[in-house]
Structure 1
Amino acid sequence: MTDMRLPLYQRLRDDMLARIAAGEWAPGTAIPTEAELTKHYGVAMGTLRRAVDTLVQDGLMERSQGRGTFIRRPNFDGSLFRFFRHVDDKGERRVPTGRVLTRREEVASSGVANALGLSKNDPVIYLERVRQIEGRNIFHERIWLSTSRFAPLLAIAPADFGNLLYPFYEEQCGQLIGAAQETLSVDTADQDTAKVLDIAPGQPVIMIERIAKGYDGTPLEYRRSTGDAQPFRYRIDIS
């Protein structure tokens, strides 16, 4: 329910986010024109533009000169490819493919429940996944999703999951991922990760924990991506 105490432009912004989250405005498509939106909402042009400006600044929309304003589909592999550099003999970057190994339903641990905004022991779908380059496992991923939002995935065999999960979520469950929060940490490989990555148990690994959210800010996916620390590189330019 809209909080009428909020400024009008912010209420407008929230309504636009709700339309995106509901699938009314799909990622990659243009929103209606400013004239159409001011008429629809009954607001001044300045109010509308301020609402759209906040969505552009948040990276949820982008303006294209002469074409309009579009719903942006974020690149969620950026962190993996920014920190883990995998190149071929010619020095060209290689992009891993994804394969789901396991899909099952379980009860949420306290950590998973907290990440997804659920109650402990609520049902969740667990996915175990690997990212590969030329058949070699590069990342070991553990993923949790709320069963209430992603129930159709329980009827799909692991081998039939798409290479890119976020478009697959959208296609199969109508759930759109619009933003994510990531935390990077150093850990050691447990038995399962060591086996998947073909490294020794206890060897240093880099873990990227991600909470992916819908366009309305609802937590939708909790993911832990683990990779061998050997190819990990961190670079920042300071000026």
Structure 2
Amino acid sequence: MARTPLYKAAETEMIRRIETGEWEVGTRLPNEFVLAEEFKVSQGTMRRALITLEGMGLLSRKPGRGTIVARSGKAPAGPAGAATGRLDFEGAPVEFEIHRAKSGLRGATEAEMALFGTGRLSSVERLLKRGGARTGIEEIAIPESLAPVLDEDAPLSLAEFLSAHGLEAAGMTETISADITSLPESVSLSCDRHTPLLVITRTAHDMNGAVIARQVMRLIADGLTYG
């Protein structure tokens, strides 16, 4: 098995500390030299890891303030369901293509039953590519009563996806967080296990506040920025 690159190991450990609360929001981190020594990596390796986490919205690096833990949270996405930020790869807008998809009906988990108020969901899971390389996994779930069959080729924009199925959101919320790949995800994405992920979760609701759809995009974080 290939050895995990040092910068990815550093990213994974820093994400763990933020996710578990060991590094709380607002915590000022030591400088690159101190962090590099603590993680037993070079300064350049530590800088690369810090840049990745900054792009994921987990850290804020500003002159005179140092590096601050700044985990993103929920934000409204507007009545038309537009995203609150722009997803870039190395400074340019990201364009994904659908590499593979599967759809069908499934039972809802306990958390999904609480969210949607139903035990039956239509879902589509799509493997995404960027520039020919596998880069993320997306899932959209909608109550079966609203859309018994989902189009696997419908647009990636949640608002446009809903429109393609005759649905419209009165509003959306969006959550940005971080995670690492599971073993099955690493296989699907052809990447190292525990690769850092940028996770974008969008939830659409109708005018009565009932949830009509949820989209979860789990994207390889390296090179991505969102804001």
TM-score by length of 2: 0.56
The answer to whether the aligner puts 1:126 opposite 2:126 as a matched pair is: no
SS at match of 2:136: strand
Residue 131 of structure 1 deviates from its aligned partner by: 3.2
The answer to whether the aligner puts 1:170 opposite 2:163 as a matched pair is: yes
SS at match of 2:113: helix
Distance 1:98 1:104, change over 3 A: same
One-letter identity of the residue aligned with 1:130: L
Which residue of structure 2 lines up, in the alignment, with residue 147 of structure 1? Answer: 144
- Number of residues of Structure 1 aligned to a counterpart in Structure 2: 152
User: Unaligned regions of 5+ residues in structure 2, if any?
Assistant: 1-76
Name whichever structure is richer in helix by fraction: 1
Which residue of structure 2 lines up, in the alignment, with residue 224 of structure 1? Answer: 216
Residue 140 of structure 1 deviates from its aligned partner by: 1.1
Q: Identity of aligned pairs, percent?
A: 18
Name whichever structure is richer in strand by fraction: 2
Residue 234 of structure 1 deviates from its aligned partner by: 6.1
SS at match of 1:112: helix
- More relative contact order, 1 or 2 (CA 8 Å, 6+ apart): 2
1:38-77 equivalent positions in 2, closer than 5 A: 59-60=78-79, 73-76=80-83
SS at match of 1:145: strand
Distance 1:151 1:100, change over 3 A: farther
How far apart in 1 are the matches of 2:226 and 2:167? 32
Q: Does the aligned pair in 2 maintain the 1:99–1:163 contact within 8 Å?
A: no
TM-score by length of 1: 0.53
Please list the CA deviations of residues 72-109 of structure 1 after superposition, one character each: whole Å capped at 9, or x if unmatched: x3323x44x34xx215xxx6434223456110111000
User: Unaligned regions of 5+ residues in structure 1, if any?
Assistant: 1-57, 61-72
One-letter identity of the residue aligned with 1:75: A
How far apart in 2 are the matches of 1:175 and 1:188? 32
How far apart in 1 are the matches of 2:212 and 2:148? 13
Which residue of structure 1 lines up, in the alignment, with residue 23 of structure 2? Answer: none
1:104-115 equivalent positions in 2, closer than 5 A: 104-115=104-115
Q: Does the aligned pair in 2 maintain the 1:176–1:215 contact within 8 Å?
A: no
Distance 1:100 1:147, change over 3 A: farther
Distance 1:86 1:233, change over 3 A: closer
- Structure label with greater radius of gyration: 1
RMSD: 2.9
